[in-house]
Structure 1
Amino acid sequence: MRLYLVVAMLVLALAAFTQAQEAEAEAAASGIGEMGKNLADKAQATLEVIRTSDIVTNSQTWLEQQLEKVKQKISEITQ
């Protein structure tokens, strides 16, 4: 009879240990998810700053002007 009680206690202890491990794993996954979200937010903010910077805007305008000049020269040559 005592053997049944010992086995039952071991099963309950194993169940409690397993649940504690699952809770710990979920907490770790939640922390990693939060860290990833913060990193993504910072990266998005940095890219937005870069995209709207004067250097990028001026470079884009200059490239568009050069492309337009090339298009005009090609149209002059083909006419």
Structure 2
Amino acid sequence: MAEAKPAVEIRKLSYTLDELEQVSGVGRSSIYQSISDLSLPAKKWNGRTIVLAADAEKFLHNLPPFVPGKRKGQRRVRNPAGRE
């Protein structure tokens, strides 16, 4: 009888932008913008843009923390009808 081989965990070393979008939950345009402003390092390989898994993890860990009640670009409207 043959011995069962132990399971080997295979971990991806890099992601395509489509894969990164799926595994990170970050939208495609945000990924492109982050690559463009150099906050997310990317590499080219055979005409494809890839992001190393370590760089993706570092990028995600360095995102600012969530602050409840505060939204980017949102202004507080006290009286939307213009009444006092």
TM-score, normalised with respect to structure 2: 0.24
RCO higher in structure (CA 8 A, sep ≥6) = 2
TM-score if structure 1 supplies the norm length?
Answer: 0.25
The structure richer in helix per residue is 1
Larger Cα-atom Rg? 1
